[in-house]
Amino acid sequence: METNFFEYENKCRANGYKLIAGVDEAGRGPLAGAVYAAAVIFDEGVYIEGVNDSKKLTPKKRDALYDEIIKKSKAYCIFSVDEKVIDEINILNATYKAFQGAIAGLEIKPDYVLIDGNRAQGIDIAHETVVKGDSKSFSIAAASILAKVARDRYIEEADKLYPEYGFAAHKGYGTKAHLEAIAKYGPCPIHRLTFGGVREHVK
């Protein structure tokens, strides 16, 4: 276990906060589908071997950890904001909205929130943002796994509806194969129509 992986949580507890939520998102960069955010609270002392930044884990490992995180959490919530809203309010504001929804959806209200990244808005609970938080905070790392697995499962279902785009392989990111499919078939109902690589093909 990394000794500093609880540095932020321990600092919060030293300042009198007891219910600390970690929050992270998945899916800001893709050209299709919703952006997902997760919030998770653990009791003090809970540790799950293998939890790390979701990008550093294999899909199989993330799937196994997803179930364990849910089982060992005190509370968790996964919230998504779809591509229509992303096009309407932009991806940054949609990400803020996803953060807000995940925190608000927790069955237990946290008294402090640790959020991955360098900014957040609209959160009325004491909080701080942590750059690269998914590799520095256990709670944020756990949230990153929940958000990533939930979004991957969603996009794999979308692949069954729109198989010609290859969503299962690239998860909606702007790979060469994905861009070629958009150019050939045009955008599908879950594409983000304001994103480069898609908007050029909107009729």
Three-state SS across 52-104?
Answer: CCHHHCCHHHHHHHHHHHHHHCCEEEEEEECHHHHHHHCHHHHHHHHHHHHHH
pLDDT band at 124 (very low <50, low <70, confident <90, very high): very high
User: Averaged over 121-125, what is the pLDDT?
Assistant: 95
DSSP output for 146-174: HHHHHHHHHHHHHHHHSGGG-HHHHTT--
- Residue 2 pLDDT more than 90? no
Helix, strand or coil, per DSSP, at residue 24:
strand
Considering the entire predicted model, what is its pTM? 0.96
Task: For residues 18 and 27, give the distance between their C-alpha atoms in angstroms, rounded to a whole number.
Answer: 30
Domains with residue ranges and CATH for the chain: 3-162 (3.30.420.10)
Q: What is the pLDDT of residue 55?
A: 82
pLDDT band at 1 (very low <50, low <70, confident <90, very high): very low
Angle between helices 7-14 and 138-161 (to 10 degrees): 130
- Residue 53 pLDDT more than 90? no
